[in-house]
Structure 1
Amino acid sequence: MFVTSAFAQESAPAAAEGDTHAGTAVPAEAHETFPPFNAETFPSQILWLVITFGLFYLFLKRVVMPRVGGIIDVRNDRITQDLDHAARLKGEADAAVAAYEQELAEAKANANKIGQQANDAAKSEAESTRKKLEAELEKKLGEAEASIASIKAKAMKEVGTIAEDTTSAIVEALVGGKTDKAEISAAVKSATR
Protein backbone atom coordinates (compact mmCIF):
# COMPACT_ATOMS: atom_id res chain seq x y z
CA MET A 1 0.00 0.00 0.00
CA PHE A 2 1.27 3.41 -0.98
CA VAL A 3 -0.42 5.42 1.68
CA THR A 4 0.23 4.76 5.35
CA SER A 5 -2.39 5.03 7.95
CA ALA A 6 -2.52 8.16 9.96
CA PHE A 7 -1.21 8.23 13.46
CA ALA A 8 -4.05 8.89 15.75
CA GLN A 9 -3.48 10.19 19.23
CA GLU A 10 -5.08 8.52 22.02
CA SER A 11 -7.21 10.74 24.08
CA ALA A 12 -5.61 11.81 27.31
CA PRO A 13 -7.34 11.13 30.61
CA ALA A 14 -9.56 13.94 31.77
CA ALA A 15 -7.70 16.46 33.75
CA ALA A 16 -8.41 17.51 37.22
CA GLU A 17 -10.52 20.49 37.72
CA GLY A 18 -7.90 23.12 38.50
CA ASP A 19 -5.36 21.84 35.95
CA THR A 20 -4.89 24.38 33.14
CA HIS A 21 -2.66 22.14 31.04
CA ALA A 22 -4.95 19.22 30.99
CA GLY A 23 -5.32 18.67 27.24
CA THR A 24 -1.78 19.56 26.24
CA ALA A 25 0.07 16.45 27.20
CA VAL A 26 1.47 14.53 24.23
CA PRO A 27 1.32 10.74 24.39
CA ALA A 28 4.58 8.85 24.30
CA GLU A 29 3.92 7.04 21.00
CA ALA A 30 3.45 10.36 19.08
CA HIS A 31 7.11 11.23 19.70
CA GLU A 32 8.41 8.57 17.38
CA THR A 33 9.18 10.40 14.01
CA PHE A 34 7.88 13.26 11.96
CA PRO A 35 5.91 11.60 9.10
CA PRO A 36 7.83 13.18 6.18
CA PHE A 37 11.06 11.92 7.75
CA ASN A 38 9.72 8.45 8.34
CA ALA A 39 11.41 5.98 5.96
CA GLU A 40 8.24 3.91 5.71
CA THR A 41 6.41 6.80 3.96
CA PHE A 42 9.16 7.57 1.38
CA PRO A 43 7.59 5.60 -1.50
CA SER A 44 4.23 7.38 -1.18
CA GLN A 45 5.98 10.73 -0.81
CA ILE A 46 8.02 10.10 -3.97
CA LEU A 47 4.88 9.04 -5.85
CA TRP A 48 3.02 12.19 -4.86
CA LEU A 49 6.12 14.28 -5.65
CA VAL A 50 6.24 12.79 -9.18
CA ILE A 51 2.50 13.28 -9.68
CA THR A 52 2.60 16.85 -8.36
CA PHE A 53 5.72 17.69 -10.43
CA GLY A 54 4.13 16.14 -13.53
CA LEU A 55 0.88 18.08 -13.07
CA PHE A 56 2.82 21.27 -12.36
CA TYR A 57 4.99 20.63 -15.45
CA LEU A 58 1.90 20.06 -17.63
CA PHE A 59 0.28 23.20 -16.19
CA LEU A 60 3.39 25.24 -16.96
CA LYS A 61 3.81 23.69 -20.41
CA ARG A 62 0.18 23.96 -21.53
CA VAL A 63 -1.07 27.07 -19.75
CA VAL A 64 1.66 29.33 -18.40
CA MET A 65 4.39 29.01 -21.03
CA PRO A 66 2.11 29.66 -24.03
CA ARG A 67 0.81 32.79 -22.34
CA VAL A 68 4.32 33.96 -21.44
CA GLY A 69 5.55 33.05 -24.94
CA GLY A 70 2.64 35.00 -26.47
CA ILE A 71 3.42 38.01 -24.33
CA ILE A 72 7.10 37.82 -25.30
CA ASP A 73 6.17 37.50 -28.99
CA VAL A 74 3.81 40.47 -28.75
CA ARG A 75 6.48 42.53 -27.02
CA ASN A 76 9.10 41.50 -29.59
CA ASP A 77 6.74 42.47 -32.40
CA ARG A 78 5.98 45.76 -30.68
CA ILE A 79 9.68 46.48 -30.14
CA THR A 80 10.43 45.60 -33.78
CA GLN A 81 7.62 47.88 -34.97
CA ASP A 82 8.80 50.67 -32.69
CA LEU A 83 12.37 50.30 -33.94
CA ASP A 84 11.18 50.32 -37.56
CA HIS A 85 9.01 53.35 -36.87
CA ALA A 86 11.93 55.10 -35.14
CA ALA A 87 14.24 54.28 -38.06
CA ARG A 88 11.65 55.61 -40.51
CA LEU A 89 11.21 58.80 -38.47
CA LYS A 90 15.00 59.18 -38.22
CA GLY A 91 15.26 58.83 -41.99
CA GLU A 92 12.53 61.45 -42.45
CA ALA A 93 14.26 63.76 -39.96
CA ASP A 94 17.60 63.29 -41.73
CA ALA A 95 15.93 64.03 -45.07
CA ALA A 96 14.28 67.13 -43.58
CA VAL A 97 17.61 68.31 -42.17
CA ALA A 98 19.32 67.72 -45.51
CA ALA A 99 16.54 69.62 -47.33
CA TYR A 100 16.77 72.44 -44.78
CA GLU A 101 20.53 72.66 -45.17
CA GLN A 102 20.22 72.64 -48.96
CA GLU A 103 17.56 75.37 -48.87
CA LEU A 104 19.71 77.35 -46.42
CA ALA A 105 22.73 77.05 -48.73
CA GLU A 106 20.59 78.12 -51.71
CA ALA A 107 19.20 81.05 -49.72
CA LYS A 108 22.72 82.13 -48.73
CA ALA A 109 23.90 81.88 -52.32
CA ASN A 110 20.84 83.81 -53.50
CA ALA A 111 21.40 86.46 -50.81
CA ASN A 112 25.04 86.78 -51.84
CA LYS A 113 23.98 87.06 -55.47
CA ILE A 114 21.37 89.73 -54.64
CA GLY A 115 23.90 91.58 -52.48
CA GLN A 116 26.50 91.47 -55.27
CA GLN A 117 23.91 92.68 -57.79
CA ALA A 118 22.89 95.52 -55.47
CA ASN A 119 26.55 96.40 -54.93
CA ASP A 120 27.25 96.35 -58.66
CA ALA A 121 24.11 98.41 -59.35
CA ALA A 122 25.10 100.95 -56.69
CA LYS A 123 28.64 101.16 -58.10
CA SER A 124 27.38 101.62 -61.67
CA GLU A 125 24.81 104.18 -60.52
CA ALA A 126 27.46 106.04 -58.52
CA GLU A 127 29.82 105.90 -61.50
CA SER A 128 27.16 107.22 -63.90
CA THR A 129 26.20 109.93 -61.40
CA ARG A 130 29.88 110.85 -61.01
CA LYS A 131 30.35 111.02 -64.77
CA LYS A 132 27.19 113.08 -65.13
CA LEU A 133 28.34 115.48 -62.41
CA GLU A 134 31.81 115.68 -63.96
CA ALA A 135 30.25 116.46 -67.33
CA GLU A 136 28.06 119.16 -65.77
CA LEU A 137 31.07 120.59 -63.92
CA GLU A 138 33.14 120.53 -67.12
CA LYS A 139 30.31 122.32 -68.92
CA LYS A 140 30.01 124.91 -66.14
CA LEU A 141 33.79 125.27 -66.02
CA GLY A 142 33.85 125.82 -69.77
CA GLU A 143 31.06 128.37 -69.46
CA ALA A 144 32.86 130.06 -66.56
CA GLU A 145 36.13 130.15 -68.52
CA ALA A 146 34.31 131.59 -71.53
CA SER A 147 32.61 134.15 -69.30
CA ILE A 148 35.93 135.01 -67.65
CA ALA A 149 37.59 135.31 -71.07
CA SER A 150 34.82 137.61 -72.36
CA ILE A 151 34.97 139.67 -69.15
CA LYS A 152 38.76 139.79 -69.42
CA ALA A 153 38.56 140.80 -73.11
CA LYS A 154 35.96 143.42 -72.31
CA ALA A 155 38.05 144.62 -69.39
CA MET A 156 41.14 144.69 -71.54
CA LYS A 157 39.27 146.80 -74.11
CA GLU A 158 38.23 149.16 -71.40
CA VAL A 159 41.71 149.15 -69.83
CA GLY A 160 42.97 151.03 -72.82
CA THR A 161 40.21 153.61 -72.51
CA ILE A 162 40.65 153.81 -68.73
CA ALA A 163 44.42 154.10 -69.17
CA GLU A 164 43.97 156.88 -71.72
CA ASP A 165 41.52 158.73 -69.45
CA THR A 166 43.78 158.30 -66.41
CA THR A 167 46.88 159.36 -68.34
CA SER A 168 45.04 162.39 -69.72
CA ALA A 169 43.94 163.34 -66.21
CA ILE A 170 47.45 162.92 -64.79
CA VAL A 171 49.07 164.92 -67.60
CA GLU A 172 46.49 167.71 -67.25
CA ALA A 173 47.10 167.78 -63.55
CA LEU A 174 50.84 167.87 -63.94
CA VAL A 175 51.19 170.12 -66.95
CA GLY A 176 48.10 172.08 -66.36
CA GLY A 177 46.77 172.17 -69.87
CA LYS A 178 44.86 170.19 -72.42
CA THR A 179 46.47 167.18 -73.96
CA ASP A 180 46.16 165.62 -77.35
CA LYS A 181 44.08 162.45 -77.29
CA ALA A 182 45.90 160.86 -80.23
CA GLU A 183 49.29 161.23 -78.52
CA ILE A 184 47.97 159.75 -75.27
CA SER A 185 46.31 156.87 -77.14
CA ALA A 186 49.56 156.05 -79.00
CA ALA A 187 51.57 156.20 -75.76
CA VAL A 188 49.13 153.85 -73.92
CA LYS A 189 49.14 151.37 -76.80
CA SER A 190 52.92 151.26 -76.86
CA ALA A 191 53.08 150.73 -73.09
CA THR A 192 50.49 147.94 -73.01
CA ARG A 193 52.17 145.83 -75.66
Structure 2
Amino acid sequence: MATQGAEGHAAGTEVPAGHAHEDVFPPFDSTYFAPQLIWLALIFGCLYLLMSKVALPRVAGILSTRKQTIGDDLAAANKAQQDAAAAAAAHEATLTEAKSKAQALGQAAHAEAAKAADASRSKLEAELGAKLAEAEKKIGETKTAAMANVEGIATEVAHAILQHVTGKPADSAAVAAAVAATKA
Protein backbone atom coordinates (compact mmCIF):
# COMPACT_ATOMS: atom_id res chain seq x y z
CA MET A 1 0.00 0.00 0.00
CA ALA A 2 2.80 2.28 0.62
CA THR A 3 4.54 3.55 -2.38
CA GLN A 4 8.22 4.21 -2.49
CA GLY A 5 9.60 7.11 -4.34
CA ALA A 6 13.01 7.43 -5.97
CA GLU A 7 14.79 8.19 -2.70
CA GLY A 8 13.49 5.21 -0.80
CA HIS A 9 11.03 6.91 1.50
CA ALA A 10 7.80 5.20 2.17
CA ALA A 11 4.64 7.24 2.05
CA GLY A 12 1.44 5.91 3.42
CA THR A 13 -0.57 5.10 6.54
CA GLU A 14 1.19 1.94 7.66
CA VAL A 15 3.13 1.69 10.93
CA PRO A 16 6.84 1.07 10.34
CA ALA A 17 7.84 -2.42 11.25
CA GLY A 18 10.65 -1.55 13.69
CA HIS A 19 8.48 0.31 16.26
CA ALA A 20 5.72 -2.17 16.79
CA HIS A 21 6.90 -3.28 20.29
CA GLU A 22 6.54 0.20 21.96
CA ASP A 23 3.06 0.21 23.37
CA VAL A 24 3.80 2.38 26.50
CA PHE A 25 4.03 6.16 26.62
CA PRO A 26 7.75 6.93 27.24
CA PRO A 27 7.40 9.04 30.40
CA PHE A 28 5.32 6.27 31.94
CA ASP A 29 7.78 3.57 31.01
CA SER A 30 9.23 2.16 34.25
CA THR A 31 12.69 1.80 32.74
CA TYR A 32 13.00 5.58 32.56
CA PHE A 33 11.80 6.42 36.13
CA ALA A 34 15.22 6.68 37.78
CA PRO A 35 16.78 9.05 35.22
CA GLN A 36 13.63 11.15 35.20
CA LEU A 37 13.71 11.51 38.99
CA ILE A 38 17.40 12.46 38.90
CA TRP A 39 16.76 15.11 36.23
CA LEU A 40 13.74 16.34 38.19
CA ALA A 41 15.88 16.77 41.31
CA LEU A 42 18.67 18.51 39.36
CA ILE A 43 16.32 20.92 37.60
CA PHE A 44 14.37 21.64 40.79
CA GLY A 45 17.60 22.28 42.68
CA CYS A 46 18.90 24.61 39.95
CA LEU A 47 15.59 26.52 39.85
CA TYR A 48 15.58 26.74 43.66
CA LEU A 49 19.08 28.14 43.72
CA LEU A 50 18.32 30.53 40.87
CA MET A 51 15.14 31.79 42.58
CA SER A 52 16.66 32.06 46.08
CA LYS A 53 19.91 33.73 45.00
CA VAL A 54 18.84 35.90 42.05
CA ALA A 55 15.12 36.43 41.49
CA LEU A 56 13.70 36.59 45.02
CA PRO A 57 16.35 39.03 46.37
CA ARG A 58 15.58 41.35 43.46
CA VAL A 59 11.82 41.11 44.14
CA ALA A 60 12.44 41.69 47.88
CA GLY A 61 14.56 44.76 47.05
CA ILE A 62 11.88 46.11 44.76
CA LEU A 63 9.19 45.53 47.40
CA SER A 64 11.23 47.21 50.15
CA THR A 65 12.02 50.16 47.87
CA ARG A 66 8.37 50.42 46.96
CA LYS A 67 7.32 50.24 50.62
CA GLN A 68 9.85 52.94 51.52
CA THR A 69 8.67 55.16 48.64
CA ILE A 70 5.04 54.73 49.63
CA GLY A 71 5.87 55.53 53.26
CA ASP A 72 7.81 58.65 52.25
CA ASP A 73 4.97 59.74 49.96
CA LEU A 74 2.39 59.23 52.72
CA ALA A 75 4.53 61.21 55.17
CA ALA A 76 4.90 64.02 52.63
CA ALA A 77 1.15 63.94 51.96
CA ASN A 78 0.38 64.15 55.70
CA LYS A 79 2.78 67.07 56.10
CA ALA A 80 1.24 68.81 53.08
CA GLN A 81 -2.24 68.21 54.52
CA GLN A 82 -1.20 69.71 57.87
CA ASP A 83 0.38 72.68 56.10
CA ALA A 84 -2.79 73.15 54.05
CA ALA A 85 -4.94 73.00 57.20
CA ALA A 86 -2.70 75.59 58.88
CA ALA A 87 -2.85 77.81 55.80
CA ALA A 88 -6.65 77.44 55.68
CA ALA A 89 -6.91 78.42 59.35
CA ALA A 90 -4.65 81.43 58.78
CA HIS A 91 -6.69 82.40 55.72
CA GLU A 92 -9.93 82.06 57.69
CA ALA A 93 -8.51 84.23 60.49
CA THR A 94 -7.39 86.86 57.99
CA LEU A 95 -10.79 86.76 56.29
CA THR A 96 -12.60 87.15 59.62
CA GLU A 97 -10.37 90.07 60.57
CA ALA A 98 -10.95 91.72 57.20
CA LYS A 99 -14.72 91.26 57.56
CA SER A 100 -14.71 92.84 61.01
CA LYS A 101 -12.60 95.78 59.77
CA ALA A 102 -14.91 96.24 56.79
CA GLN A 103 -17.96 96.12 59.05
CA ALA A 104 -16.40 98.69 61.42
CA LEU A 105 -15.54 100.96 58.48
CA GLY A 106 -19.07 100.57 57.13
CA GLN A 107 -20.61 101.45 60.48
CA ALA A 108 -18.30 104.45 60.85
CA ALA A 109 -19.15 105.64 57.35
CA HIS A 110 -22.87 105.13 58.06
CA ALA A 111 -22.63 107.11 61.32
CA GLU A 112 -20.70 109.89 59.58
CA ALA A 113 -23.21 109.99 56.73
CA ALA A 114 -26.10 110.08 59.22
CA LYS A 115 -24.41 112.93 61.14
CA ALA A 116 -23.85 114.86 57.90
CA ALA A 117 -27.44 114.20 56.82
CA ASP A 118 -28.74 115.42 60.22
CA ALA A 119 -26.65 118.58 59.98
CA SER A 120 -27.80 119.18 56.43
CA ARG A 121 -31.42 118.50 57.38
CA SER A 122 -31.21 120.86 60.37
CA LYS A 123 -29.74 123.59 58.19
CA LEU A 124 -32.38 123.00 55.51
CA GLU A 125 -35.19 123.00 58.11
CA ALA A 126 -33.89 126.29 59.51
CA GLU A 127 -33.78 127.81 56.03
CA LEU A 128 -37.23 126.48 55.20
CA GLY A 129 -38.59 127.74 58.56
CA ALA A 130 -37.21 131.21 57.82
CA LYS A 131 -38.69 131.14 54.32
CA LEU A 132 -42.02 129.89 55.70
CA ALA A 133 -42.12 132.67 58.32
CA GLU A 134 -41.32 135.21 55.61
CA ALA A 135 -44.00 133.73 53.33
CA GLU A 136 -46.58 133.78 56.16
CA LYS A 137 -45.67 137.41 56.85
CA LYS A 138 -46.15 138.26 53.17
CA ILE A 139 -49.42 136.34 53.10
CA GLY A 140 -50.58 138.23 56.19
CA GLU A 141 -49.66 141.55 54.58
CA THR A 142 -51.32 140.56 51.32
CA LYS A 143 -54.41 139.41 53.23
CA THR A 144 -54.54 142.67 55.16
CA ALA A 145 -54.16 144.63 51.95
CA ALA A 146 -56.75 142.47 50.24
CA MET A 147 -59.15 142.86 53.14
CA ALA A 148 -58.71 146.61 52.98
CA ASN A 149 -59.52 146.51 49.30
CA VAL A 150 -62.42 144.08 49.80
CA GLU A 151 -64.64 146.74 51.29
CA GLY A 152 -64.02 149.04 48.34
CA ILE A 153 -64.47 146.19 45.84
CA ALA A 154 -67.64 145.02 47.59
CA THR A 155 -69.00 148.54 47.52
CA GLU A 156 -68.24 148.89 43.79
CA VAL A 157 -69.70 145.45 42.98
CA ALA A 158 -72.88 146.13 45.01
CA HIS A 159 -73.18 149.51 43.30
CA ALA A 160 -72.80 147.90 39.85
CA ILE A 161 -75.29 145.14 40.64
CA LEU A 162 -77.93 147.59 41.90
CA GLN A 163 -77.50 149.77 38.89
CA HIS A 164 -77.77 146.77 36.58
CA VAL A 165 -80.80 145.31 38.36
CA THR A 166 -82.69 148.56 38.87
CA GLY A 167 -81.34 150.42 35.94
CA LYS A 168 -80.77 153.54 38.15
CA PRO A 169 -77.58 154.64 39.85
CA ALA A 170 -77.51 153.55 43.51
CA ASP A 171 -76.84 155.77 46.48
CA SER A 172 -73.14 155.40 47.36
CA ALA A 173 -73.59 156.17 51.04
CA ALA A 174 -76.36 153.58 51.44
CA VAL A 175 -74.32 150.91 49.62
CA ALA A 176 -71.24 151.65 51.80
CA ALA A 177 -73.34 151.42 54.95
CA ALA A 178 -74.84 148.08 53.85
CA VAL A 179 -71.35 146.63 53.07
CA ALA A 180 -70.04 147.88 56.42
CA ALA A 181 -73.01 146.26 58.18
CA THR A 182 -72.31 142.84 56.58
CA LYS A 183 -68.63 143.10 57.45
CA ALA A 184 -69.26 143.40 61.17
* TM-score exceeds 0.5: yes
**1:80 and 2:71 are equivalent in the alignment:** yes
Q: Which residue of 1 aligns with 2:16?
A: 25
* Alignment-derived partner of residue 40 in structure 1: 31
Mean Cα displacement is larger for which, 115-124 or 83-92? Answer: 83-92
29, 32, 51: which is aligned to 1:60?
51
Match for 1:64: what amino acid? Answer: A
Structure 2's unaligned 5+ residue stretches are 149-171, 174-184
| Match among 120, 128, 133 for residue 124 of structure 2 | 133
Structure 1: state its 5+ residue gaps.
Answer: 1-14, 160-172, 175-193
- Between the aligned partners of 2:63 and 2:84, the Cα distance in structure 1 is 31
CA distance in 1, matches of 2:106, 2:75: 46
Match of 1:123 in 2: 114
**Relative to structure 1, is the Cα distance of residues 28 and 129 closer, same or farther in structure 2, using a 3 angstrom cutoff?**
closer
- The change in CA–CA distance for 1:16 and 1:103 in structure 2 (over 3 A counts) is closer
Report the equivalent of 2:61.
70
Q: Return the offset for 1:135.
A: 4.0
Higher RCO (C-alpha under 8 Å, 6+ residues apart): 1
Structure 1 position 65, deviation (Å):
0.3
Query: Counterparts of 1:17 and 1:140 in 2: how far apart (Å)?
Result: 147
Q: 1:136 to 1:40 in 2, by over 3 A?
A: same
Look up the match of 1:184: none
Residue by residue over 1:86-129, the C-alpha shift from the partner in whole angstroms, topping out at 9 and shown as x without a partner, is 22222222222222222222222221111111110001111122
Q: What is the rounded CA distance, in whole Å, between the counterparts of 2:36 and 2:66 in structure 1?
A: 41
Deviation at 1:28, TM superposition (A): 3.5
Judged with a 3 Å threshold, the aligned counterparts in structure 2 of structure 1 residues 30 and 63 are, in CA distance, closer, same or farther, namely: farther
TM-score in terms of structure 2 length: 0.60
CA deviations over 1:126-161 (Å, ceiling 9, x no partner): 112222333445566677789999x89xx9xxx9xx
**1:25 shift after superposition:** 2.4
CA distance in structure 2 between the partners assigned to 1:87 and 1:64 by the alignment = 34
- 1:84 to 1:143, Cα distance in 2 relative to 1, 3 A: same
CA-based RMSD? 3.6
- Opposite residue 124 of structure 1, the aligned amino acid is K
